[in-house]
Amino acid sequence: MPSDTARRRCAVVGLGARARMFTTALAGPYADRIDLVGFCDVNPHRMAVHNEWIGASVPAYGAEDFTEMLRRERVDLVVVCTVDRTHDHYIVEALEAGCDVVTEKPMTTDADRAMRILDAQRRTGRQVRVAFNYRYNPVHAAVRETLAAGEIGEIGSVHFEWLLDLRHGADYFRRWHREKANSGGLMVHKATHHFDLVNWWLGTEPETVYAHGGLFFYGDEAGTRRGLARDYARAHGSPAAADDPFAVRMADSPLLSALYLDAEAADGYHRDQNVFGPGVTIEDDMAVLVRYATGSTLTYHLTAYAPWEGYRIAFNGSEGRLELLVEESTWTRPRVRVPGGSAVLHGESAGDTAGRTELMLRRFWEPPRELKVRTEDGGHGGGDVRMLEDLFGVSVADPLGRAADAVDGARSLVTGLAANRSFESGGPVRTRDLLDV
Ligand SMILES: NC(=O)c1ccc[n+]([C@@H]2O[C@H](COP(=O)([O-])OP(=O)(O)OC[C@H]3O[C@@H](n4cnc5c(N)ncnc54)[C@H](O)[C@@H]3O)[C@@H](O)[C@H]2O)c1
């Protein structure tokens, strides 16, 4: 992105949990290349918390002053980490002001917003990078290398199951994500990562999508039916939440208190809503069938209420099969308080019992071979730190082509949008009828 000598002037918009990865990187290892010159958020408290974390006093602007911030601080790079439904607004404004943009996934939440971004990017000639960190996970790079080397020949189909555990999965149902208007639902908000990986691994794009999805476990109806519902709107200060293993206790967590509980006065946002309360408009169980331009197919399933977290993927090829198993957590510890013990607290991560990673190559007429891959701690299997280096470090050629642009962002989005449309219509959806990219 940058020329390797020029310093850049960067602003971050949306100073919540995810932004911490960016603000600490920009104020830390990349401070010799990039000046962090502006924060923008609807909530001044969270901007102050970020300044405290990084020991700085980056100028803080309200949402209405975003464009003014770009001008006054002479910003040339904007990192967008806001609620998904607002990404397009900041991306387009930043491009129009002559800035390059790094945006968190999903690039946006619907087809019209995606078209606005694509149009603005083409019109301005500025750069948009979508932060698909999973592309930078070494395990996923090994999959791409193995497929590109032709080890299993031409790909006929992919079978992909992703499980979110009771800790991480439940979290989508207590935050802003629980409303589809904010997040696009998990087909957009979460599966954008997975659909992007398949596009990238196969080097193709989706053409037709057929899907079923519903609210099976969370929400008021399912919660009542299963006897899991408790009578409270939000956990903080609610006696009914005291014995609920699905309640998050923000007061017990310095991070959640600083970022959300202590910030409520500014915007009234409650991060600890009841996962079995009313108002959930997203799905928790989704089955998707995709056909790609190459003729390959994908069967995909996303479950948000699993006992463990991770994924299984199998690629069926003309010369064999490649199978990946990643256990990000092997079980989920309940979050109730243990008398005399410490409360189990919550970050936005899966349970804390990471298990196996296994990549098996099964070529026709040969014994199976386990491909050794480096597994790493750190955000998203080591993907975060590599992605930051690619975004903000000295640019180097990447034979894996991991940098994702606005077209990649739109192509991953359109599978989820088509799945959402198929949930409603009950029929197959052609992606080009939604978004022609
Ligand atoms: N790549 C990943 O693995 C990953 C992981 C987590 C989150 N994310 C993405 O990061 C983004 C932020 O998620 P989060 O978990 O930090 O959420 P969060 O709720 O912690 O933070 C969102 C921030 O946006 C601010 N905001 C809301 N509306 C705004 C507006 N109109 N203008 C300016 N600011 C506004 C909020 O005040 C808050 O500070 C999302 O797009 C999410 O998809 C990506």
Query: Closest Cα to residue 114, out of 405, 421, 410?
Result: 410
**pLDDT number for residue 396:** 94
Residue 209 has pLDDT above 60, yes or no: yes
CA of 123 to the centre of ligand 1 (A): 27
The tens digit of pLDDT for each residue in 1-32 reads 545 668 999 999 999 999 999 999 999 999 99
**pLDDT number for residue 97:** 98
For a substitution probing ligand 1, which of 12, 104, 175, 270 has the most ligand atoms within 8 Å of its CB? 104
The tens digit of pLDDT for each residue in 96-132 reads 999 999 999 999 999 999 999 999 999 999 999 999 9
Q: What is the CA radius of gyration of the chain?
A: 22
Query: In this structure, what are the phi and psi dihedrals at residue 278, rounded to the nearest 5 degrees?
Result: -75, 165
Mean pLDDT of 243-256: 92
**pLDDT number for residue 334:** 75
CA of 340 to the centre of ligand 1 (A): 35
Amino acid at 17: A
Residue 58 has pLDDT above 80, yes or no: yes
The tens digit of pLDDT for each residue in 160-197 reads 999 999 999 999 999 999 999 999 999 999 999 999 99
Residue 268 has pLDDT above 60, yes or no: yes
The tens digit of pLDDT for each residue in 358-393 reads 999 999 999 999 999 877 666 777 889 999 999 999
Q: How far is 90 from 103, CA to CA, in rounded Å?
A: 9
Q: How far is 418 from 421, CA to CA, in rounded Å?
A: 5
CA of 273 to the centre of ligand 1 (A): 17
Q: Which residues line ligand 1 (CB under 6 A)?
A: 13-19, 41-43, 46, 63, 81-84, 86, 104-105, 131, 133, 189, 380
Q: Which atom of ligand 1 is nearest to the CA of 20?
A: 16
CA of 427 to the centre of ligand 1 (A): 33
Which residue puts its alpha carbon closest to atom 5 of ligand 1? 18
**pLDDT number for residue 380:** 72
Which residue puts its alpha carbon closest to atom 6 of ligand 1? 18
Mean pLDDT of 341-352: 43
**pLDDT number for residue 336:** 54
Q: How far is 382 from 349, CA to CA, in rounded Å?
A: 14
Rounded to the nearest 10 degrees, the angle between the axes of helix 19-27 and helix 383-392 is 50
For the whole model, what pTM was predicted?
A: 0.95
CA of 166 to the centre of ligand 1 (A): 21
